[in-house]
Amino acid sequence: MSSYVHIRWGTSETPSVLLTTPADYMGVYSGTSETAPATYSFYQWVKVKGEQGAAGTAQVYNKQATLSSWPVSGSNRASTVSDANITASSVIVFAPALTSQDVAVAAELYPYADTAANSVTFYAKNQPTTAIVMNYSIIG
């Protein structure tokens, strides 16, 4: 005799309609029926979707930094911006200001965020020809 497992979904522990796509409750049937039973009472039901949590509020800090000093760091040049708003859970988005895009591209600029030091270091493979204005947002 073969054993079969079927999973169905419902909007309660006693759904009148068994669904084949995920919902708040999952029902599991284990038995000898090759086809899924059409009645909820054949299934063991468990709530799989929790209650809605409290809405969080992400802080967003829009900043701008002018990078004009490029001391050599290893095989690259580096300019660091310190910001107390940078934390371990921060997401940081960078983009050069429109007026600095060509210089940033020519310098092959790339950022590295050191969240432990509350800073972002911008590395340049090539010496920038002028100061670079970077726009950045800290989300966290």
Provide the residue-wise pLDDT of the chain in tens; the chain has 140 residues. Answer: 788 999 999 999 999 999 999 999 999 999 999 999 999 999 999 999 888 888 887 889 999 999 988 888 677 788 888 888 888 888 888 889 889 989 988 998 888 877 777 888 888 888 899 999 998 888 87
Q: pLDDT value at position 81? A: 87
- Are both 66 and 103 inside the same structural domain? yes
Residue 118 located in a structural domain: yes
Q: pLDDT value at position 77? A: 87
- Are both 39 and 76 inside the same structural domain? no
- Are both 134 and 73 inside the same structural domain? yes
C-beta separation of 110 from 122 below 8 A: yes
- Are both 87 and 110 inside the same structural domain? yes
Q: pLDDT value at position 39? A: 95
